[in-house]
Amino acid sequence: MLGFPCNQFGAQEPGTPAQIQEFCSTKYKVTFPLFEKVEVKKGGNQHPVYQFLTRDHAEPNWNFAKYLVGKDGKVIRRYEPTVKPDDPALVAAIEAALKA
């Protein structure tokens, strides 16, 4: 997993990268890498990662949206923010993608 903080959803990520890292690790026990803030909504400043992820899939409608990318670099599926990282269906999809 990789995290891309974004302040475009209710201004939830107003802090510095260090503040965001501290908050995510203490509040949500995040251990995966977090990048600096990016813009994920379509428009002139959308980060290239999200240009790629949203080419054939919906853009995030809130923080914590997830995209599963296969070993071949193709986006397999987008998951809603309400899907937790340890959701059995998501874990199964990750395991299947790793075996493909």
How many distinct structural domains can be found in the chain?
1
State the average pLDDT over residues 22-44: 91
Residue 60 has pLDDT above 90, yes or no: yes
Q: Would residue 43 count as lying in a domain? A: yes
CA atoms within 13 A on the CB side of 51: 6
Q: Given pLDDT bands bounded at 50, 70 and 90, which one contains residue 33?
A: very high
Residue 1 has pLDDT above 90, yes or no: no
Q: Would residue 24 count as lying in a domain? A: yes
Residue 83 has pLDDT above 90, yes or no: yes
DSSP string, the chain: --B---STTTT---S-HHHHHHHHHHHS---S-BPPP---SSSTT--HHHHHHTSSSPPPSSTT-EEEE-TTS-EEEEE-TTS-TT-HHHHHHHHHHHH-
User: Residue 45 belongs to a domain with what CATH number?
Assistant: 3.40.30.10
